[in-house]
Amino acid sequence: MRKKIFYFLMGVALATGVASATTKSSVATVPAGMITFALTHGKSSYLSLPLTKLSTYTSSVTAVTTNTISVDDTPAPFTTNFATPVAPYFVKFLSGNEAGRVMLITANTTSALTLDTTDHASGAAVALTTTGFSVEAGDTFEVFPGDTLASVFGAGTTQSPLLLTGARNVSASDVVSLFTTSGTGTIYYFNTAVGFWQQYGAAANANNTIIYPYSAFMVARRPTHPDMTLVLAGRVTQVAAETKVIGNGTVYGSTHYATDTKLSQLHFGANWIKGATATVADTLSVWNAALGRFDIFYQMPDSTWRKSSDTVTDQSSFTIPAGAVTTIAKRGIVSGAASFLASSLPYSLN
């Protein structure tokens, strides 16, 4: 049964004892709320950001190139630099062939936005003019601000206090690992000797490292550091997610949805390969927080789901927790439009 996302967000607020001033009383508009994650000492927690910040601009495309979209609003609307390192901005398409695709803005003029068509460096670039997947005049989109290491976990200042525990070296500090297509992740820690975030093995200030919307990351807390709760606020996605995948490789991400989602609610379309075993089918792995591992699932030809460790039991009712990290492994080579998997919304907004 499709459920109202509003009730989920209210449940999150009540369960954590925190009420959100921005939680909507009606689902006629895109709901906003908050979600919490427990970060336990001596434990690695895999998380994603299923909520995004409020939209700052919404309009329709009037012209498109391989990596730019333009509008003809008068006066020209983009008076802000959307590509400053300290404050990333993103475009999400709300209609058309690319509805659900989210891309970083890398440059802009007053009426045009240049977008990163590699989609966070996952595989080859897919142009906005790709045959069968092109952005067209009239397609709607929104612009919204993104997050960085410092905006999520703090910069160690009075205005932006550090949420995790830093140290003079990585071995004594809590660490945050950001994932794309690599299983190892890129490790960051807050170096108290210099007063900013650093990538492990590098000296540069990494405060402005982007944590991409709906992406995967891991937080590891040292055994001697206290437990804490990470609270994230924002809006749910109002369109079905588009997930970029790569052929013969694994991409780390999430469902994109700020609500628990059953496997039966995922409908990846013609690009998703089903099969009788996990060795021939595309696989979806879900982080199992209780056991500290990824559980691997695949979809049978009859559309039911199985777990690689239990090929008999139907897992279609298995629930992916809100904010959980998932990985997708594609068996075949993909390019262009086939690089994206779209899944219908697991909730109703109206």
Query: Which residue in this structure is represented by tokens 């989920």?
Result: 8
Instruction: Give the per-residue pLDDT at 29.
Output: 54
Tokens of 101: 């695709």
Question: What is the sign of the dihedral through the CA atoms of 48, 53, 54 and 55?
Answer: negative
Task: For 172-219, write each residue's pLDDT tens digit.
Answer: 999 999 998 767 799 999 999 999 999 999 999 999 999 999 999 999
205: left (phi over 0), alpha (psi -120 to 50) or beta: beta
- For the cut 90, the answer to whether the pLDDT of residue 345 exceeds it is no
Task: For 318-340, write each residue's pLDDT tens digit.
Answer: 999 999 999 999 988 888 998 99
- For the cut 70, the answer to whether the pLDDT of residue 11 exceeds it is no
Residue 223 burial (CB count, 10 A): 7
Taking the C-alpha atoms of residue 349 and residue 188, their distance in angstroms, rounded to an integer, is 37
* End-to-end C-alpha distance for the chain, whole angstroms: 14
**Residue 143's closest CA among 88, 212, 187, 215?**
88
Task: For 75-94, write each residue's pLDDT tens digit.
Answer: 999 999 999 989 999 999 99
Residues 6+ apart with CB under 8 A from 130: 336, 337
- Mean pLDDT (the chain) is 89
Q: Structural domains in the chain? A: 57-145 (2.40.10), 239-348 (no CATH)
Instruction: Give the per-residue pLDDT at 3.
Output: 40
Task: For 20-32, write each residue's pLDDT tens digit.
Answer: 323 222 334 567 7
- For the cut 60, the answer to whether the pLDDT of residue 47 exceeds it is yes
Task: For 299-323, write each residue's pLDDT tens digit.
Answer: 999 999 999 999 999 999 999 999 9
Residue 274 near residue 281 (C-beta atoms within 8 A): yes
